[in-house]
Amino acid sequence: MARMTGTAQRAEQLLGTGVVSTTPVAGGDICTSTRLRLTDGRSAVIKTRPHAPAGFFEAEAAGLRWLAEAGGARVPELLAAADDCLVLAWVEPAKPSGDSAERLGRALAVTHAAGAPTFGADTDGFVGLAPLPNRPLPTWPEFYASRRVMPYVRAAVDRAALLPEEAAVIEAAVRRIHDLAGDLEPPARLHGDLWSGNIVWGVDGDAWIIDPAAHGGHRETDLAMLALFGAPHLQRIIDAYDEAAPLAEGWRDRVALHHLHPLLVHAVMFGGSYGPRAADAARSLL
């Protein structure tokens, strides 16, 4: 196999172990991922991005550590982190199975139940390359409206990804957020960006979660994100989760509320139909 000299050398510096070979990993439009075969027999993956925003990889590393501490959903072992890259233990991928999906649902319930000190986090983070304001607020409706939805409404309008009349519909839903949010729950320990692309289905039969935007939030947010772009065996994930940690009454009616933020993020980053989709989600809540 070819050896990407610069990447291999950086990994060797961080790991203190030689790299035998490197192989590009397909997928991902934010970072370049490269599989490393190490001289000690292990495999790892290094994520790199030239001129990454300050704190980008450090925030991901902190989120991975925090999620791993919960002892729930599996997280790849963090081998090294620096301002220019991140190195994780390699997870050999396989096709998703229903049994793996059920294990993920139960494990995710454990992760959420580990909780968080507050709604938010000690530092701001990233969702993809987009900034993620995390300054804590005392309740989830306040946090979600002020730190998730409204900053991206403004950004989407500024970038012509959301029409003013569409923004007005979303703002109307936000004004009702205390009524829409249902019974308040304590802060859950969230992955924060749990779409299907951030799940690696391993040959060991477990599902591993990667690329977090971790923070304290509402547990329904992670479940709604799984549904937004379609996770394999979604119903089995939800059913297993609900059996382990029953969801509050009316949770299905709130899925559109939890979709507002990721749709707005996509509107800002990619434009297209995401702005109108966010407005449609808000309209369904009114």
Catalytic residues: 193
Gap between the Cα atoms of 222 and 219, Å rounded: 6
Gap between the Cα atoms of 96 and 36, Å rounded: 24
∠ CA 51-274-129, rounded to 5°: 15
177 three-class SS? helix
Could you tell me where the beta strands, DSSP code E, fall in the chain?
19-25, 32-38, 43-48, 78-81, 85-89, 125-127, 130-132, 188-190, 199-201, 207-209, 215-217
Tallying the residues shown for the chain, one arrives at 286
Q: Which residues contact 160 (CB under 8 A, 6 or more apart)?
A: 271
Residue entry with tokens 């559109």: 256
